[in-house]
Amino acid sequence: MISNLQKPIDSGFHAKSNSNDIVQNIDLVEKKAIITGGYSGIGLETTKSLVNAGAEVFIPAKRTDEASSNLEGIIPKDHIIKMDLSDLNSVKSFADSFKESNNKLDLLINNAGIMACPETRIGKNWESQFAVNHVGHFLLTKELMHLMSNVEGARFISLSSSAHSLTPILWDDIHFENNAYDKWMAYGQSKTASSLIAIEFNNRMKDKGVKGFSVHPGGIMTPLQRHLENQEMVALGWLKEDGSPSDLVKNFFKTTSQGAATTLWCATSPKLNDIGGVFCEDCDIAKRKNDVDESLQRYFGVADWAVDSDEASKLWEVTETMLSS
C-alpha cells in the first residue's frame, strides 16, 4: 500500500536550496544526532549544518583518522567513534557505547554508503552493497530506535537514491547467488531497501511520536563515485569525452550544500511534524513516478516499490531473519 501522503506539499524550498537556507532560524540546542558517513561529502555538510543550528552530533566512522581531520574544530574528538557498517560486531559495539552514555536520540541519519563497487562478499556471504547500505544500517537503527521513543520531534532519515528506480527488492536472489552480479542492480536494490526501512520504521514508531523519511539527495559528485572510471561516467552521461561535466550534470547535479538540503529539511522542517513514511527529494515530498514526465522518470519521482508498506514490512522481517540465522 502506498501512503496518500506521498505527494509534494509546497515546502517553500526547491532543488537548488542549500543547507543554510534550510537551517536558518532552526534551533537544535539540546538535540542529539547521529550521522553515519558524517565526515565526507554531503554527510560532512549535514554535520556542519546541524552543529551550526546547535545540535550535539556524534559520528560513527570507519576511518576515524580521516573523520578527526575533516571534523577538527566542528565536533569534539570523543564524538567520533569507530564503526564499520560491514562488521555487525562493530555496529553493535558503537550502539552499545552510545546507549551507555546517552538516554535519548533526536535524529538518526543513515547517510553512509557504497556505490557500484566490484562484487564483494561479507558477513554470511552477503552481497556487500546490500550488506553495508542496508543490513548494517538496519542493525544500527534497531539498536537505537528505543532511544527515540517518545522524544519530542525525533526523526529518522535514511538516504536512498534515484538508483532505487532500477529495481525492487530481488526477493528470490537478494545476494546474487543464483544470477550474475550486476553492480548497478545491486546498488539500486540497496537503495530501494534504504527507502523501505524508513517506511517501516515510521509504521513501527509513529505511535511513539517518531517520524521516518527516506531521501534522494540528488546527483552530487562526491567520494561515492570512487569505484567508477571516467569512461563509465561518460557512458552514464555525467562527463563529456574530455572529462568535463556534461550538460546533465550542469543542469541537474547539485553542490554538496544543495545535496545536504533535503536531508536537513526532513530532519528539521515544522511542515513535517504530522507527516512521516514518505520519500523526499528536492526539499519536498517526492511525486510518484507516474506523476513525473516520462523523460525524467529515471532521475525524479519515487517508484511505488520503494514506498510500498507491504514491501517495507516484508523487508524488515527478512532482514531480522538474516541477522538471526
Delimit the domains of the chain by residue range: 19-219+254-324
Q: How confident is the model at residue 238 (pLDDT cuts 50, 70, 90)?
A: low
CATH architecture, range 19-219+254-324: 3-Layer(aba) Sandwich (3.40)
Q: Are 81 and 59 in contact (CB under 8 A)?
A: yes
Q: Are 132 and 113 in contact (CB under 8 A)?
A: yes
Q: What is the pTM of this model?
A: 0.92
Task: Spot the catalytic one: 39, 181, 187, 299.
Answer: 187
**C-alpha grid cell, residue 17:** 536550496
Residue-wise pLDDT for 164-204, tens only, equals 999 999 999 999 999 999 999 999 999 999 999 999 999 99
Q: Are 111 and 158 in contact (CB under 8 A)?
A: no
SS3 label, residue 143: helix
Residue-wise pLDDT for 80-120, tens only, equals 999 999 999 999 999 999 999 999 999 999 999 999 899 99
Residue with cell 536472489: 173
CA triplet 289, 174, 319: central angle to 5 degrees? 95
SS3 label, residue 273: coil
**Structure confidence at residue 83 (pLDDT):** 98
Q: Is 181 one of the catalytic residues?
A: no
Selected residue with higher pLDDT from 229 and 138: 138
Longest Cα separation, the chain? 54
Whether the predicted pLDDT of 247 surpasses 70: no
